[in-house]
Amino acid sequence: MNLVLFLIVLVISFVIVRVGAIAFQLTGLEWSLAKFQALSCFTSTGFTTKEAELVTGNRQRRRIASTLIVLGHAGLVTMIATLANSLRAQEVLESRLSKPILPLPLRPFFAQLINLVIIIAAVYAMYKVFTNTKILRRLTNALRRRIVKREMIEPVSFEELAVVTGGFGVSKVAVDRQSQVLDKTLSEAPLRKHNITVLAIVRGTDTIPNPPADSRISLGDELLCFGKLENIKSVLYAGNG
């Protein structure tokens, strides 16, 4: 029973981390960074100062991080307790053997070894299942639809890819109909006075690196920008202005 409970806690922990990653992504974090931040919060490890700025500076992300940290501590305690109890299998083994075939001193060690092998095999099987690309993609899409449908997180089109000191970073912004840079060239848009540099324009399947000043911004374009994240949000992200 303890072994089953341990595996259930392990599955739930994986799902929680995946939900946290999706929630972080919906707030504007790039997917690989969102996954790392969710795992960092849940396990309370690997949370660097630079990347912490992406979470602590946003109200929604702080709430997500706090929830993951609390659930992570609870899950860790439960997992350790159930794992420890799973290894205490002397009584279970002896109850299965009407006529013990091992010397009495070896029975506890043999029982623990069996349970340890079972746990390793079960964890490995779960690892193979949850690292399967198709299964992982279906699970992620299903969880994302659920989160969006329940309006648990307010999705944004502003994606923070990297952050450096002083609040400067690289961001990707989708241009919609409310954007104040729509149908303007890079020189016409209010970018230079806010120290925003457009590194590339992603248009469908095409990418225009280091676009010239006369490049016109179209509906649906994604602008890869460098500058102060606060300025990029206020100038380019209509949902934040």
pTM: 0.59
Q: Which amino acid, 226?
A: F
Percent of the chain with pLDDT over 90: 16
Homologous superfamily of the 158-240 domain (CATH): Regulator of K+ conductance, C-terminal domain (3.30.70.1450)
Task: Output the pLDDT for position 198.
Answer: 94
Kindly report which listed range (80-89, 119-128, 135-144, 180-189) carries the lowest average pLDDT score: 80-89
Residue range 139-166: mean pLDDT, rounded: 76
Please answer whether residues 185 and 216 qualify as being in contact, where contact means their C-beta atoms are separated by less than 8 angstroms.
yes
Tokens of 235: 């100038």
Give the chain's radius of gyration (CA, Å).
Answer: 25
Task: Output the pLDDT for position 44.
Answer: 79
Angle between helices 133-149 and 2-26 (to 10 degrees): 60
Residues carrying CATH 3.30.70.1450, the chain = 158-240
Structure confidence by residue, pLDDT tens digits, 12-29: 888 999 999 998 888 877
Structure confidence by residue, pLDDT tens digits, 159-218: 667 666 677 888 888 888 888 899 999 999 989 889 999 999 999 888 999 999 999 999
Q: How confident is the model at residue 111 (pLDDT cuts 50, 70, 90)?
A: low
Beta bridge partners of 222: 174, 202
Task: Output the pLDDT for position 30.
Answer: 77
Task: Output the pLDDT for position 241.
Answer: 40
